[in-house]
Structure 1
Amino acid sequence: MALGAVPRLRPRLPHGRAADAALACGVFVPVAVGSLRSLIGEREESWSATVVGWTLIIAACAALYLCRRRPVVVAAFVLAATAAYYLVSVYDGPLMVAFVVALYVVAARGHLQAAIALAALTVIATGIGTLAGNHDVNGVAVFMLTGWLVGVVALGWVRHNRLALARESEERAATEERLRIARELHDVVGHHLSLINVQSAAALRRLCKNPAKGAQSAQDALGAIKSTSRDALRELRATLGVLRQVDEQAPVAPTAGLDRLGELVASARLAGLDVRVRFSGEREQLPTEVDLAMYRIIQESLTNASRHAHATVVTVGIHREARQVTVEVTDNGQGPAVADGGTPGNGIRGMRERAHALGGELTAGPGPDGGFTVRGRIPCTNSFRNGACSPS
């Protein structure tokens, strides 16, 4: 917002009990104005009948205060009060408006069958009154009343469906966001913790075998653990900062991408993996989301190869084409990478979700010559913007 600009004030609609009270008062005012001729002018009925009629008007409109909490009960009560009013009073007031509003709320709250039953009961009762000699309502009026009630029920049901669809969309978006956060935390924390676990286990093993000669190796491993834990904390802090969406300028790590592949390979080599990387194809800069997805796929594959498959050699192939980028990670491990409990973990599923979210695909399974192979493909068009292409 520009400096000195005056913010636009938007009217705030009432909520909760205030909205219920506004509904009841909003209906009572026009009904009362339309029924004033029973209090002024020439008398057509006794004062006792007028008092009873106004009591029914106030009761029906006041019941709308509870309409959102007990829609069916309130609508039935308003219908009964409206029917009694038209039987007692000789003045044809607009109290039917209160029942129409209550009927709409019943349908909007999802009680379609109750709304249809109340509307049908109203039409039937009005028709019986017409046949019994009520000359104020004829067949045309009954037909028009039927159309109005059908329309009110239909509008209420449409409103209910729209709100249900909006809630479903919000729940789906929240679920997708939770999955994205879980996937990101898994990739950031899981990889570094796996490397720390492997490096510390290797240091302990060397110290136990040969305490004298293993001291230097243990020192190197502890240095690698220190570096890996620092990277883990930095990336975790950066991820949490994005999730909090804070404004303070906290120190954050650079965005993960293939330009940091060297650091990833170096940490994997400290864990005992012989990692070989091959690039082929074009070398244009990738979009940020594609670059991050490729980095996370390689990161998770290296983690699985070191921690679960017990591999010693891993080959990473990255092929960049005009319309897609492909990564293939192959190891010489003992077979499919599984979690410690013996069941497939969340890593492969997370990699597959990343690829699918960008319109790509990912396969993972035993390689033709043994070991395990992860192959991911993410499409990328030739529409350049600021030197980078956009995912299709």
Structure 2
Amino acid sequence: MAHVTLPQMEEKIARGRLIFSGLVTVAVVVDPLQPSVNPWLTLMGSAYPLDADFLGTILFHLLYSTLIYLAVRGRGTTGSRFASLTTSTDVLFAAAVAFVTEGRSSLFYPFFSFAIVESGVRWGLRRTLMVTAASAALWIAMIALWVPDGIIFYLMRPVYLMVIGYLVGYLGEERLALENDVRTLEANEQRLRIARDLHDGCAQVLAALNLQLESCQNLLRAGHTDELLADLRDLQKSINSEHDELRAYLRSLAGVGAAGATTTASDPRIRVRLDLDASGALVDQVLRIVREGVTNIRRHAGAYAAVIQAASDATHVQISIDDDGRGFASDTERPWSILSRVSELGGSLDMTRQDGSGAHLTISLPAT
């Protein structure tokens, strides 16, 4: 089962809103209510006129839908605040359509319905009921404004909307629960596969290395120095080979290709400067990034010297990693282990590539 990520979900909702708005605009313009708009049509539709306020509201919604779609498609704008803002705007547009038509058109029904459906898709039952309640309250307010003496005759219409909202929210909640179950099953299956691979590979090699170390101890006790050195060299080769295979396996799990930099272990001079005032959890993550930077420099950079600095202020933690080694082969090649950790923390990683001048990484992490 292919999971829809949050950015993909927001793009689908934005595309659906744009298509919905476009269809409504076409329906309003083509609807034969005003021969001045469609002089070639003579049929009559419903009783409300297509005035400037109504048409302007529909066109403004089309502009709003287009801008939201372009924003999501171009910059990947997502997040709970963005979702709440667009949903609230959709509800207000439904109320605006109801207001400018003075209830003489049922066109505001699908506008309210769209806001309810997108809430069900995003959040499930609870938030959908909140959006439904807000929509019904706005609808009742419009009814009170139009027919204050006959409001009792129209109260069932918002009730129907609330019934629809409950059904959509319930189905959305069930979808989220089923998707969570599928993800749990897939995670368990992946953990089982990883455990099996590690048992058949790494664990078996460690067991063999343990036997080799025991043999080395016996050679040392017997004073067979030459044989001991030969076995230690073989042992080192086995460890290096297993280390490379394990790193390749981890990279395959992370979904990245093989490292472009050649593995050439060295022991450069590394200067580390830390000036941090942040939470313990964030400091721990920063130290892990620094540690991974040191490992990468020693194994891949071929550098003679490097400088790693980390400092914090009220809003961000800035980390820089610079060395005088071979650098990266291209602008798209980045240390995946550092990049994945930075992305998980909501930060950014920028890389400056200059041929022959080493690698230069700048990392920014939010302090909260």
Structure 1 length as normaliser, TM-score? Answer: 0.42
Structure 2 length as normaliser, TM-score? Answer: 0.45
Larger Rg: 1
